[in-house]
Amino acid sequence: MCGIAGYSLALDSTVERTVAARALLTGIAERGADAVGYAYRLTGTPIAVHKQRSGATALLERISVPEDATKLLVHVRDYTKGHPSLAANNHPVRHGSVVGIHNGIIKNDDELFAEHGIARAESGMTVDSEIIFALAERSRGRTAAALQQLYGSMATAWLDESRPELLLARGVGRPLWIGQTKKELFFASTRVALELVESYAGIKLRKSELPEGTVIAVESGKIVTRESFEPDRSFEEEPLPAVRAPHEGRSCLERLARLHAAPA
């Protein structure tokens, strides 16, 4: 069980980028402590990625997102496949021009790599999530059809250096919340993460869960395309507890409060 979060903002959004990033990380911190990372993108520039093998607390004060960044991905990892000792297995995961994050388990990743003749991005990588981003890079314009090939559970988000949007998709078995204003769209594995953004960024979000079998493209805080796909609902896994690292959640909440006093 991992945690994902992030945002797409209009360039003239007044939301403080680093404050919002820290609030989102705090809201998902309890979902994993094997690794943590974030990625952001400024208009017309390559995607910047930072990740480390630690829980969220060790990263919270070090997060720094430029105020002209318009897109962000955040991840905490509770690993299942792809040992975190290899940095390439940790999230955000890069495959070619695509950088993404994933909460869930993909069971047929090795089969799909072989079927499509796709090589792993780095030698020694075994993380199952990579296949999502490998297929995303190959299937621009046919994303929904690509996602239907996956067998497993999934909530995911990615950025592609060859296209301007943030992509979000939800299959089965994992939550994905979105919160919107006129100029901002935030997403997270937990509703609490969106509530923390409201408190620390001083905004009000329209909150809802992204339906299963949905992929959306977001640009400047607005949903620009929405497609449906049919995930394989035969997949079953034993229920996993959402809280994997409660100490990380408590620690981040305390540090966030010290770093940024929420508006009264």
When the pLDDT of each residue in the chain is averaged and rounded to a whole number, the result is 95
Closest CA to 4 of 124, 116, 131, 171: 171
Neighbours of 257 (CB within 10 A): 13
The predicted structure's pLDDT at residue 28: 98
Asked if residue 229 is part of any domain, the answer here is yes
Find the helix packing angle between 246-259 and 17-28, rounded to 10°: 160
* Coil vs helix vs strand at 180: strand
Between 9 and 242, the more confident residue is 9
CATH code at 185? 3.60.20.10
The predicted model gives 166-190 an average pLDDT of 97
The predicted structure's pLDDT at residue 44: 83
Asked if residue 192 is part of any domain, the answer here is yes
The predicted model gives 159-168 an average pLDDT of 95
Which regions of the chain does DSSP assign to beta strands (E)? Answer: 3-9, 35-42, 48-52, 69-77, 93-95, 98-106, 152-160, 166-170, 177-180, 184-188, 206-209, 214-219, 222-228
Closest CA to 10 of 185, 187, 180, 183: 183
User: Greatest CA separation found in the chain?
Assistant: 56
The predicted structure's pLDDT at residue 262: 57
Confidence of residue 160 (pLDDT cuts 50, 70, 90): very high
Distance CA 33, CA 76 (A): 6
Find the helix packing angle between 109-116 and 130-138, rounded to 10°: 30
The predicted structure's pLDDT at residue 58: 98
Asked if residue 156 is part of any domain, the answer here is yes
Q: Which domain holds residue 74?
A: 3-259
Which regions of 122-172 does DSSP assign to beta strands (E)? Answer: 152-160, 166-170
Asked if residue 264 is part of any domain, the answer here is no
The predicted structure's pLDDT at residue 176: 98
201-228 pLDDT, tens per residue? 999 999 999 999 999 999 999 999 999 9
61-76 pLDDT, tens per residue? 999 999 999 999 999 9
Q: Strand 177-180's sheet: what is its strand order?
A: 48-52, 35-42, 69-77, 3-9, 184-188, 177-180, 206-209
pLDDT over 80 (residue 146): yes
pLDDT over 80 (residue 87): yes
Q: What percent of the chain has pLDDT over 90?
A: 92
Distance CA 101, CA 158 (A): 6
pLDDT over 90 (residue 94): yes
45-56 pLDDT, tens per residue? 899 999 999 999
The predicted structure's pLDDT at residue 213: 97
23-45 pLDDT, tens per residue? 999 999 999 999 999 999 998 88
The predicted structure's pLDDT at residue 222: 98
- The structural domain count of the chain equals 1
* Coil vs helix vs strand at 89: helix
If you ran DSSP here, which 8-state letter would residue 234 be given? Answer: T
Residue with tokens 């360039």: 11
150: tokens are 């996956």
Asked if residue 135 is part of any domain, the answer here is yes
